[in-house]
Amino acid sequence: MTTAGAGAARPRAGAGGAGPAAVALRDVAKTYGRGAHAVEALRGVSFEIRDNEFFTLLGPSGCGKTTLLRAIAGFEQASAGAILLFGADIVDVPAHRRPVNTVFQHYALFPHMTVAANVAFGLRRLRRPEGEIARQVAAMLALVKMEALADRLPGQLSGGQKQRVALARALAPAPKVLLLDEPLSALDLKLRQAMRQELKQIQATTGITFIFVTHDQEEALSMSDRIAVMSEGRVQQIGPPAEIYEHPANRFVAGFVGDANFIPATVVGEEGGRVRCRTPAGLVLAAGAAPSPPGGRGTVLFVRPEKVGLVPAGQGTVEGRVRGLQYLGDAVLIEIDIGEALPLVASERMARLGQAARRPGDRLGVVLDPAALQLLAG
Amino acid sequence: MTGPRPAARRRRPFGEVPGLGTLAAGFLVFLYAPIAVLVAYSFNAGSIVMVWTGFSTDWYARAFANADIRQAAFNSLVVAVTATAIATVVATLAALVLARGGRFRGSEAVLGLISLPLMVPEIVTAVAVLVFFSGIGLNLGLGNVVIAHVTFCIPFAFMPIRARLDGMDTTLEQAAQDLYASEWATFRLVTLPLLMPGVLAGAMLSFVISMDDFIITMMVAGAGDTTLPVYIYSMIRHGITPEVNAVSSILLLVSIVLVTLYWFMTRTGPGTARR
Amino acid sequence: MALLPARAPLRRTLGLLPAVAIILAFMVVPVAIMAVFSFLVPRSFGGVEWTFSTDAYVQILFERMLDDSLRFSPGYLMIVLRSFGLALLATVSCLLVGFPVAWFMARRPPGERNLWVLLITIPFWTNQLVRTFAWIIILGRNGVIEAPFRWAGILDQGATLGLMYSNLAITVGLTYTFIPLMVLPIYASLEKLDFSLVEAAADLYSSRLATFRRVVIPLARPGIIAGCLLVFIPSLGAFIQPDLLGGGKKLMLGTLVQFQFTTARNWPFGAAIAMVLLALVMVVLILHARAARPHPAPGGGQ
String of DSSP letters for A290-306: PSSPP-TT-EEEEE-GG
List the single best residue of C4, C107, C118, C175 to mutate versus B (max B Cβ within 10 A).
C4
Q: Which helix (H) or strand (E) holds A335?
A: strand A331-337
**Cβ contact B229:C129 at 8 Å:** yes
The 8-class DSSP code of residue C297 comes to: P
State which residues form the domain around C240.
88-250
Give A107's DSSP letter. B
Q: Do A111 and B270 touch (CB under 8 A)?
A: yes
Q: For position B29, what pLDDT does the model report?
A: 94
In a domain, A350, yes or no: yes
Q: Are strands C48-49 and A177-181 parallel, antiparallel or unpaired?
A: unpaired
Query: What single-letter DSSP state applies at residue A96?
Result: G
Domain shared by A366 and A288, yes or no: yes
User: Would you call A126 and B180 a contact, using CB atoms and an 8 Å cutoff?
Assistant: yes
| Pair A336, A290 in one domain | yes
- Here the contacts of B189-194 (C-beta below 8 Å, separation 24 or greater) are B189/A121, B190/A110, B191/B96, B191/B100, B191/C4, B191/C5, B193/A112, B193/B271, B194/A110, B194/A111, B194/A112, B194/B164, B194/B168, B194/B271
- A partners (3+ CB pairs within 8 A) are B
In angstroms, the CA A105 to CA A103 distance is 7
In which domain, by residue range, is B205 found?
66-267
Q: Are residues A267 and A343 in the same domain?
A: yes
- The arithmetic mean of pLDDT across residues A321-337, rounded, is 88
Q: Which of A95, A101, A112 sits opposite B194 (nearest CB)?
A: A112
Question: What percent of chain A is modeled with pLDDT above 70?
Answer: 91
Count: domains in chain A? 2
- The single-letter DSSP state of residue C163 is -
Cα separation of A81 and C155, whole Å? 92
Same domain? A54 vs A191: yes
Q: Which amino acid is at C123?
A: P
Q: Does C101 fall in a domain?
A: yes
Q: Would you give per-residue pLDDT tens digits along chain B (275 residues)?
A: 444 444 444 555 666 677 888 999 999 999 999 999 888 888 888 776 666 778 888 889 988 888 999 999 999 999 999 999 999 999 999 999 998 877 778 888 999 999 999 889 999 999 999 989 988 888 888 999 999 999 999 999 999 899 889 888 889 999 999 999 998 999 999 999 999 988 998 998 899 889 989 999 999 988 788 999 999 999 888 877 788 889 899 888 888 888 888 777 666 544 443 33
- Tell me which DSSP letter residue C296 carries: P
The Cα–Cα gap between B239 and B229 comes to 16
* Residue of C84, C126, C171, C280 for testing the chain B interface, max B β-carbons within 10 Å: C126
A154 domain-assigned: no
| pLDDT at residue A297 in the model | 58
Question: Are the C-beta atoms of residues B225 and B82 closer than 8 Å to each other?
Answer: no
Same domain for A287 and A227? no
A130 in a structural domain: no
CATH code of the domain covering residue C245: 1.10.3720.10
Burial pattern A10-44, b for ≥16 Cβ within 10 A else e, equals eeebeeeeeeebbbbbbebbbeeeeeeeeebbbbe
**What is the percentage of chain B residues whose pLDDT exceeds 70?**
88
C45: exposed, middle or buried (Cβ count in 10 Å: 0-12, 13-18, 19+): exposed
List the single residue in B20, B130, B256 with the smallest CB-CB distance to C126: B256
Beta carbons of A122 and B175 less than 8 Å apart: no
Quick: pLDDT tens for B69-110. Answer: 999 999 999 999 999 999 999 999 999 999 887 777 888 899
Q: Are strands A344-349 and A331-337 parallel, antiparallel or unpaired?
A: antiparallel
pLDDT at A56: 96
Asked whether residue A309 falls in the same domain as residue A187, the answer is no
Assess contact for A245 and A234: CB atoms under 8 A: no
Residues linked to residue A204 through DSSP beta bridges, in sequence order:
none
**What region does B262 belong to: left with phi over 0, alpha with psi -120 to 50, or beta?**
alpha
Residues of chain B with Cβ-Cβ distance to C142 below 8 Å are 48, 50-51
**Beta carbons of B121 and C237 less than 8 angstroms apart:** yes
| Chain C hits for B106, Cβ within 8 Å | none
Question: How are beta strands A177-181 and A209-214 bridged, if at all?
Answer: parallel
Residue A113 domain-assigned (yes or no): no
Nearest to B23 among C101, C135, C208 (CB): C101
Chain B touched by C261 (CB under 8 Å): yes
Which of residues A194, A214, A246 is at a domain's end?
A246
Residue B29, domain member (yes or no): no
Q: How many domains does chain B have?
A: 1
Q: Is C10 on the interface with B (CB under 8 A)?
A: no
Helix (H, G, I), strand (E, B) or coil at A345: strand
Total residue count of chain A as it appears in this document? 378
Same domain, A267 and A366: yes
Residues in CB range of C64: below 8 A, 6 or more apart: C55, C58, C70
The parent domain of residue A283 ranges over 259-377
Residue C238 domain flag: yes
pLDDT value of position A131: 94
- Per-residue confidence at A290, pLDDT binned at 50, 70, 90? low
Instruction: Please provide the average confidence, as pLDDT, over all residues in chain C.
Output: 85
Residues A241 and A330 in one domain: no
Q: How many domains does chain C have?
A: 1
Q: What is the CATH number of the domain that holds B81?
A: 1.10.3720.10
DSSP string, A256-275: HSS--EEEE-EEEEEETTEE
% of chain C beyond a pLDDT of 70: 92
Sort residue C243 into left (φ over 0), alpha (ψ -120 to 50) or beta: alpha
Query: Pairing relation of β-strands A284-289 and A54-58?
Result: unpaired
Q: Evaluate whether residue B18 is within a structural domain.
A: no
Interface confidence (ipTM) of the complex? 0.86
Q: Distance from B228 to chain A by nearest Cα, in Å?
A: 39
Q: Torsion over CA of A245, A247, A249 and A253, rounded to 10 degrees? A: 20
In this structure, the answer to whether residues A216 and A340 fall within a common structural domain is no
Residue C281: pLDDT band (50, 70, 90) is: very high
Residue A48 sits in a domain of what CATH number? 3.40.50.300
User: What pLDDT does C6 receive?
Assistant: 42
Q: How far is B91 from chain A (nearest CA, A)?
A: 23
**C18 CA to chain B: closest CA distance, Å?**
6
The yes-or-no verdict on residue A352 having pLDDT over 70 is no
Q: DSSP code of A149? A: G
DSSP A11-65: PPTTS---S--SEEEEEEEEEES-GGG-EEEEEEEEEEE-TT-EEEEE--TTSSH
Indicate whether A7 pLDDT > 80: no
Q: Which residues contact B21 (CB under 8 A, 6 or more apart)?
A: C104
- B179, B183, B271 member nearest A101 (Cβ): B179
Q: A332 by DSSP, 3-state: which?
A: strand
Distance from CA of B102 to the nearest CA of C (A): 5
The order of strands in the sheet holding A23-32 is A39-49, A23-32, A80-85, A88-89
- Cα separation, C76 vs C56, in Å, equals 12
Cβ contacts of B159 within 8 Å, gap of 6 or more: B202, B205
Instruction: Find the residue in B nearest to A102 (Cα).
Output: B178
**C177 interfacial to chain B (CB closer than 8 Å):** no
Q: What is the 3-state secondary structure (H, E, C) of chain B?
A: CCCCCCHHHCCCCCCCCCCHHHHHHHHHHHHHHHHHHHHHHCCECCCCCCCCCCECCHHHHHHHHCHHHHHHHHHHHHHHHHHHHHHHHHHHHHHHHHHHCCCCCCHHHHHHHHHHHHHCCHHHHHHHHHHHHHHHCCCCCHHHHHHHHHHHHHHHHHHHHHHHHHHCCHHHHHHHHHCCCCHHHHHHHHHHHHHHHHHHHHHHHHHHHHHHCCHHHHHHCCCCCCCHHHHHHHHHHCCCCHHHHHHHHHHHHHHHHHHHHHHHHHHCCCCCCCC
- Report the mean per-residue pLDDT for chain B: 85
| Dihedral over Cα of C75, C81, C87, C93: its sign | negative
The pLDDT of residue C217 is above 90: no
In a domain, A235, yes or no: yes
**CATH code of residue A282:** 2.40.50.100
CA distance A160 to chain B (A): 17
Q: What residues contact A259, with CB distance under 8 A and at least 6 apart?
A: A304, A305, A345, A347
Q: Is the same domain home to A181 and A314?
A: no
In tens, the pLDDT along C47-88 reads 788 889 888 898 888 888 778 888 888 889 999 999 999 999
Q: How many CA atoms lie within 13 A of B177 on its CB side?
A: 20
CA A348, CA A167: separation in Å to the nearest integer?
39
Whole-number pLDDT of residue A359: 84
Please report, as a single letter, which amino acid is at residue B114.
I
Among residues C185, C183, C188, C208, the alpha carbon closest in space to that of C198 is found at: C208
Q: Are A185 and A103 in contact (CB under 8 A)?
A: no
H or E segment to which residue C21 belongs:
helix C9-23
Per the CB < 8 Å rule, is A108 touching B177? Answer: no
Residue A364, classed as helix, strand or coil, is strand
- Calculate the alpha carbon distances from C278 to A373, B121, B123, B128 in Å: 78, 7, 10, 12
Last residue of a domain, one of A188, A219, A246: A246
* Same domain, residue pair A182 and A288: no
Q: What is the pLDDT of residues B169-192, one digit of tens each?
A: 889 999 999 999 998 999 999 999
